[in-house]
Amino acid sequence: MFSSSTRTIPDAPLVPRHIAIIMDGNGRWAKQRFLPRVAGHKRGVETVRKLVRASIERGVEYLTLFAFSSENWRRPAEEVSLLKGMFLNALEQEIEQLHKNQVRLKVIGDLSGFGARIGELVAAGEKLTENDARLTLTIAASYGGRWDIMRAAKAYFQAHPEALDAQAPIAPEDIEPYLSMMYAPEPDLFIRTGGEKRISNFLLWQMAYTEFYFTDTLWPDFSEQTLDAAIASYQQRERRFGRTSEQLQAAAKEKRQLAGAE
C-alpha cells in the first residue's frame, strides 16, 4: 500500500506516475456530427486504446479512467443499457490484448448493477493480468468517491469493532487500506476533457494533492498531443505539498550537493 501525500512528501516525477482522467464529451462529439450518441461512445473506446499505448510510451505507470459514475445510472435507460453492453464487449475483446501488452487490469466500483457476466469477466481479467507490470489500467465503473469512502469506513469498523468506542482514536491511515485504490499511488495529474471544470465525485480521497488539467477537447478527439500538453502543464507546476517555495529550493540544493558528494 502507498502512503498518503497528506502525511509524507512523495517524489514529484517529471512524468506523472499516475494519471486519472474523466473521459467527457462522447455524446457532444456525436451530436456535433449529427450522429447517434453510440457513435461517440464507440469512438471513445478507440481513444482509450490509443491512450493506453501513449501512456506506456511516456513511462506512465498507472492510468485510471472514469468510465461510468454512480450518478450515470440516472441517464436514459436506453443509454445506460448501451454503455453496459459496450463495457461487456470491451472486456470480452480487450483483456487478452492487455495481457499481451503486459497491462494489469483493475476495475473499481459497485458492479452489482452490471450483471453476473460482467462481474465474471472482471474477475477473470484481473486474475489473468495480476502479474503484468508495464502499466496498471484502472477502470472506474459505477464508482463514486463518496461511495468509496463510505465503503472503506464500513469495512474498517467491521474489521475493528473496538474502534466504535468513542474514546478510540481513528487516523486516516486506518481507513486507507480499505479504499478501492489502495494498490496505487495517489494521482499526480487529473485530466478532464469536454470543457467541464469539476471532479464529479471522482477519487475524492485520493486527489487531495493532485494537479488538475481541464481541456475543451472532447474525449473522442483526445490525442497524444493533448496528453503531451497536459503533461507539459503538469511539469510547470510547483508541487509543494504544504511547504514553501524556499523549502523546495533548499531541498533541491541539498539533493544536488549530496549527488555531487557521491
Query: Annotated active-site positions, please?
Result: 24, 72
* Helix orientation angle between 77-100 and 116-128, rounded to the nearest 10 degrees: 20
Using H for helix, E for strand and C for coil, what is the string for 9-67?
CCCCCCCCCEEEEECCCHHHHHHHCCCCHHHHHHHHHHHHHHHHHHHHHHCCCEEEEEE
β pairing state of 62-69 and 135-143? parallel
Residue 235: name the closest of 59, 16, 52 by CA. 16
- The answer for residues whose C-beta is within 8 angstroms of residue 75's C-beta and 6 or more apart is 83
Is the C-alpha dihedral spanning 106, 213, 178, 71 positive or negative? negative
Task: Work out the angle at residue 104's Cα, subtended by the Cα atoms of residues 126 and 236, and round it to the nearest 5 degrees.
Answer: 140
Q: Is 99 helix (H, G, I), strand (E, B) or coil?
A: helix
